[in-house]
Amino acid sequence: MTAAPATAVAPLSLADEELYGVFWRTALYDLGRDMSNGFLSAYFRTFAVPSGAQALIKRGGIMKDPRKRATDTRIVV
């Protein structure tokens, strides 16, 4: 018994704007917890790298205004 030949999948015909909307709806609603965990990982990762932690402590900004650091990380991520 031989397998049937594979057929190619037709490319999506959605506009870029529609694809962008699908992506964000999926990311924010279906994968909201994953997005939150990714943000936390990005925020705390800099403290795990000794040179990064030393730079943050040396500048003192993280100790004075931790919310600004969190906001800046969220913008970048």
Q: Indicate the domain borders of the chain.
A: 50-77
pLDDT in tens, 64-75: 887 887 787 777
Both tokens assigned to 50: 């000794």
Q: Confidence class of residue 76 from pLDDT cuts 50, 70 and 90?
A: low
pLDDT in tens, 12-59: 666 777 888 888 888 888 888 888 888 788 777 777 788 878 887 888
CA angle (48, 40, 17) in 5-degree steps: 130
Number of H helices, E strands in the chain: 5, 0
CA angle (13, 19, 25) in 5-degree steps: 140
